[in-house]
Amino acid sequence: MSESIFPSWIELDIPALKRNFQFFRNRIPRQTAIYPVVKANAYGHGISEIVNAIGPLSDGFCVHAAEEASRIPGNKPILILGHFPEEMGFLARLMLDRRPVFTITSEIQAAALDRAAKAAGTPASVHIKVETGTQRLGLPPSDAFKLMSKLRTFENLKLSGFSTHFANIEDTTNHQFAMKQLSIFNSFRNSLTQGERYRFHCACSAAALLFPETHMDMVRLGISLYGYYSSGETRLSSMQQGLQPEDKLRPVLSWKTRPVQIKAVAEGDFVGYGLTYRAHRSMKIAVLPVGYSDGYDRGLSNSGYVLICGQRAPICGRICMNMMMVDVTHISDISCRDIVTLIGHDGDEQITAETLASKSGTIHYEVLARINPLIPRVPVD
């Protein structure tokens, strides 16, 4: 279906996606699996589109919830990092269809999985999450040992791995706390008997980039797959380690639209709700069919800009639910056929998710993840 019938559309740079993946594949030992994280609609990029594009290169995929696992095409392994319901019918069907690995932190979760696995007639594989300092999901090492022992009483469960997650490896150039967490996890790892082979994993994008000792058996490749460093601090740390300009990650997602009206505004006229913008001269504005219901942050009202014909067009007035207005006085011969770039390149200009995040007081993760999943995603080779 042509994107032209939609108010806006997303373009996915598939060569950039594959290049970002290969950048990490070249830095990570081949025996270490790489599982792209495709939770939150693949960080706003489209879960089906990303899985179909990167599936042949990946070793498996990570999602947050069991519901997401049910929507992943293909047959690559799936690790559920977070939520799954205790509803036996759903879990049994999921086990039969996809055989995902479940992350657990309680005996109650284990019992629910055991019942569903018995109904499905197939054992369920589980990883225990170990708390090392993030104080999110996870069990302290002593409780993880206890749960590990209790799992032996469930006939339909197989313990296959352990994980943890860093609290402060992205937003700092001082990685002392992350190294403390790594030490706790390694101590737990080393205390296990070596008779049975488990999979251990802790590395997110920043850890995978900066600390080879975190690679272990699996890397959970998140934001950097999509072309962004985890933070400015991560970028700086990578430069201090000698990464060169040719190692630069490339954003995969571009967001585009077209004007629905171009109109004259007289000096002194107000633009938009709340009368927050008043024309200080005669001007020309373009009305765009994108607003906060599409995931374009209302905080960009009167402060953001878009790109049209290779030039910046400042936002005038408040972002509406389905529309916004931009100043195009300086752009000659603009028409409703022209493409407007909300995120992406146009000529020598570029808007990234980081650009929008800095102007709206948030992070690029949120900018991407909040893009309305109903907007079509168009893979571009």
Query: Out of 146, 158, 263, 273, which one is annotated catalytic?
Result: 273
Q: What is the DSSP letter of 59?
A: S
Per-residue exposure over 363-378, b if at least 16 CB sit within 10 Å of its own CB, e if not: bbbbbbbbbbeebebb
Contact criterion met (CB below 8 Å) for 144 and 200: no
Q: Would residue 39 show up in a list of annotated catalytic residues for this protein?
A: yes
Q: Would residue 359 show up in a list of annotated catalytic residues for this protein?
A: no
Contact criterion met (CB below 8 Å) for 61 and 220: no
Calpha distance 377→47 (Å, rounded): 10
Contact criterion met (CB below 8 Å) for 84 and 125: no
Q: By three-state DSSP, how is residue 329 classified? A: coil
Query: Out of 18, 35, 39, 228, which one is annotated catalytic?
Result: 39
Beta bridge mates, 261: 287
Q: Which of 336, 328, 325, 268 is nearest to 300 (CA)?
A: 325
Residues in the chain: 381
Contact criterion met (CB below 8 Å) for 353 and 324: no
Q: By three-state DSSP, how is residue 255 classified? A: strand
Q: What are phi and psi of 238, to 5 degrees?
A: -65, -35
Contact criterion met (CB below 8 Å) for 10 and 377: yes
Q: In the block, which residue shows the tokens 């594989």? A: 125
- Percentages (nearest 5) of helix, strand, coil residues in the chain: 35, 25, 40
Euclidean distance between the first and final Cα of the chain, in Å?
A: 17
Q: What is the DSSP letter of 131?
A: P
Contact criterion met (CB below 8 Å) for 300 and 319: yes
Calpha distance 137→84 (Å, rounded): 13
Calpha distance 259→308 (Å, rounded): 10
Calpha distance 63→42 (Å, rounded): 9
Cite the active site residues: 39, 273
